[in-house]
């Protein structure tokens, strides 16, 4: 991987981690006030969102650097 690809991957991971952490903290605080249904908000339902956050971050980072799969010189 070249430097741009590494930077894109790192930014995608940072975006995914930030969104995932925000989701978990929001659900935790929301659960203090409103009892959430465990069948709707279990880890089985939340973990696929982390993958979605990663691919969202990847899309944002690739658009930021105008990166496609062509060879850049």
pLDDT tens across 13-30, in order?
999 999 999 999 998 898
Q: Is residue 8 in a domain?
A: yes
Instruction: Tell me the percentage of the chain whose pLDDT exceeds 70.
Output: 93
Residue 72 pLDDT level (bands cut at 50, 70, 90): low
Q: Is residue 34 in a domain?
A: yes
- The domain in which residue 29 lies consists of 3-64
Q: Does the structure show a pLDDT above 70 at 73?
A: no
Q: Is residue 50 in a domain?
A: yes
Q: Which pLDDT tens digit goes with each residue over 29-48?
A: 988 898 888 888 777 888 89
Q: Which two tokens stand for residue 21?
A: 């952490």
Q: How many domains does the chain have?
A: 1
Contact in structure between 57 and 20 (CB atoms under 8 Å): no
Q: Is residue 38 in a domain?
A: yes
Q: Is residue 33 in a domain?
A: yes
Q: Is residue 72 in a domain?
A: no
- Global pTM value: 0.80
Q: Is residue 71 in a domain?
A: no
Q: Is residue 73 in a domain?
A: no
């Amino acid at each position: 991987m070249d430097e741009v690809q590494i930077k894109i991957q790192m930014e995608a991971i940072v975006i995914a981690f930030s969104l995932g952490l925000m989701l978990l903290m929001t659900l935790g605080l929301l659960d203090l006030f409103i009892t959430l249904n465990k069948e709707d908000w279990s880890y089985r339902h939340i973990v696929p969102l982390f993958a979605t956050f990663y691919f969202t971050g990847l899309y944002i980072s690739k658009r930021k650097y105008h990166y496609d799969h062509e060879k850049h010189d």
